Structure 1
Amino acid sequence: MRLRYAGTCRICGSQLPAKGDAIYERVTRTVRCVTHEVSTPDAVPAGHELDLALPEVVPTGTAGASARREFERRKAAREERIRAKHPKLGGLILAVSEEPQSTNAWNTGALGEEKLGGGLDRLASGKIRLLHDRRMPRSRANIDHLAVTPTGVYVIDAKKYRGRPHLKIDGGLFRPRVERLMIGSRDCTKLVDGVLKQVDVVRALLEPEVPVHGALCFIEADWPLLGGNFTIRDVHALWPKKLYPKLQAEGPLTTETIAEVHGILAKALPAS
């Protein structure tokens, strides 16, 4: 059948995208990849038991979940304060006033993560395994998205910023070379520092032969019609349509290794 909604193969745990073909098993109400052959009890030799054990399915998490919760928490706290201070006019004040920028920033961040998460989920397969909104050990920060692919693990930070991202290089022959990430006229190099910290955390969890890449994916930024994406201190700065081909590229990691790495990261970096 053609799936109306995305699902998970009950045999290998692969993500099955919406509108993709799959086999629906009515008895268990589960789906599986069309490439899997499933033995029936009639095919089992006498004296042998049919092994119906299913592989562990690793939950991917929900993109933007922690940012969305923080936005709702701040919004509700503000509403409670205003209604307590102005019992009669609180509703009117809330209707004609806007949320503070510090609160709206959480909503903007959640929207960016949710939009990119939806695009990434459409790529999910046995060769592209995803994790969303993961907690970093001993830190209040989180990792927006992790993609385990044949070319390695991608640590992806989603940003919904206005302006054009570009690389600014200072120094040269007689001064140290300094690379800066600019968005319009703003120096946003701290975003690169944040991704590199996340990359270090992920790299420490894995074997050295597993490549770990950092990516800043800007949602709805003012990119030029041609070119535009760049690399700064080994971190890719790009947008979704430039990111997806990197995740789909062929590489040295096998499907089995991808599943193993995915499981390690899911256990070490729980959902926020």
Structure 2
Amino acid sequence: MTAGRSAAVRAAQLRASARRSWWQRLLALLGIRTAHARRTAHAAARWAHGAEGEAHTARLLAPLQAAGWHLRHDLALPKSRANLDHVLISPCGTAIVVLDTKHWHRGKPTHLLGGHVHCGTDDRHSQVEAVARYAHRVATLLGLPAGQVAPLLVIHGSPITGGRLEAHTPHGLVHVLGTDGLLPTLHAAPHGRPNARAAARLAARVDQHFRPYQQ
């Protein structure tokens, strides 16, 4: 599955719904934007930004394949409406990174306040907790210890105060990074010795349990 595809599809669906009725099309031709049209356009823009961010993250991650990483993008989380933006299988074949991409306001710094991750004054900790839940669910489905599946949040746009954050959640620690810190963090993460066969076997298990996301 191409990174960001499901988010791009959702943006297109929202834009299409805004043009569905003859009345909506007439208002658009007349240059009149109703409150509903504005809300729909705003939601479509958010999904489109999300798709761009996921595609950008995938491009950043692509060089890891030469080092033995297996990369998967836009996977469905079983028995959930959620999707996994990126799943990374380490070269050692014993660790997985569940990585979520967010595109937050460029003019608002991301920081910790009272133990919660904020973008400017907006509390975004629920999104941090979500990626921790996803990682926990991945570990459960694959029968892996929770410590072998690491949740990671990469932020596009908003600058990260201090370069990176460590956010605590009920399902464990989540590292919150900007795009500049993504590859250095993954390269520096402790892994065992590369084992191409073990990595391929773990990637096959991921493919068995997590199918490409469909709207």
Place the TM-score, normalised by the shorter chain, in its bin.
Answer: 0.7 to 0.9
Q: Confirm or deny that 1:68 pairs with 2:13.
A: no
Would the alpha carbon gap of residues 94 and 248 (structure 1) be closer, same or farther in structure 2, given more than 3 Å must change? farther
Identity %: 25
In structure 2, the gaps of 5 or more residues are none
Q: Specify whether residues 223 and 80 from structure 1 end up closer, same or farther in structure 2 by C-alpha distance, changes over 3 A only.
A: same
Q: Indicate if the aligned counterparts of 2:67 and 2:91 stay in contact, CA closer than 8 A.
A: no
Q: How many residues align?
A: 199
**For residue 85 of structure 1, what is the aligned residue in structure 2?**
23
- Code of the residue aligned with 1:188 in structure 2: it is R
Indicate the residue corresponding to 1:229 in structure 2: 164
SS of the equivalent of 2:157 reads coil
Deviation string 1:144-178 (CA, Å, 9 cap, x unpaired) is 00111147211111000012111123xxxxxxxxx
Q: Which residue of 1 aligns with 2:90?
A: 149
| Cα offset, 1:183, TM superposition | 1.1
Once the two structures are superposed, what CA deviation does each residue of 1:26-56 show, in whole Å capped at 9, x if it has no partner?
Answer: xxxxxxxxxxxxxxxxxxxxxxxxxxxxxxx
2:205 is the alignment partner of 1:269:
no
**1:254 maps to 2:190:** no
- CA deviations over 1:177-221 (Å, ceiling 9, x no partner): xx2111111111101110111011111114338711111100121
Distance 1:158 1:255 in 2: 27
Report the CA distance shift for 1:89/1:78 in structure 2 as closer, same or farther (over 3 A): closer
Structure 2 residue identity aligned to 1:201: R
For 1:211, the equivalent position in structure 2 comes to 148
Q: 1:158 aligns with which of 90, 101, 104?
A: 101
Distance 1:93 1:133, change over 3 A: same
What are the within-5 Å matches in structure 2 for residues 12-27 of structure 1?
Answer: none
Name which of 182, 195, 201 aligns with 2:137. Answer: 201
Q: Secondary structure of the residue that 1:125 maps to in structure 2?
A: helix
- Corresponding residue for 2:116? 180
Aligned amino acid, residue 230 of structure 1? L
DSSP 3-state at the match of 1:144? strand
Greater relative CO (CA pairs within 8 A, separation 6+): 2
Opposite residue 111 of structure 1, the aligned amino acid is E
Paired position in structure 2 for 1:132: 73
| CA apart distance, 1:132 | 0.2
Larger helix fraction of residues: 2
TM-score w.r.t. the length of structure 2 is 0.83
Local SS of the residue matching 1:143: strand
Change (3 A) 1:242 1:129: same
Q: Which structure 1 residue ranges, 5 or more long, are not aligned?
A: 1-60, 170-178
C-alpha root-mean-square deviation of aligned residues, in Å? 2.4
SS in 1 for 2:98: strand
The 1:94/1:213 distance shift into structure 2, 3 A limit, reads: farther
Q: 1:68 to 1:86 in 2, by over 3 A?
A: closer
The residue type paired with residue 29 of structure 2 is G
Moved more, 227-236 or 252-261: 252-261
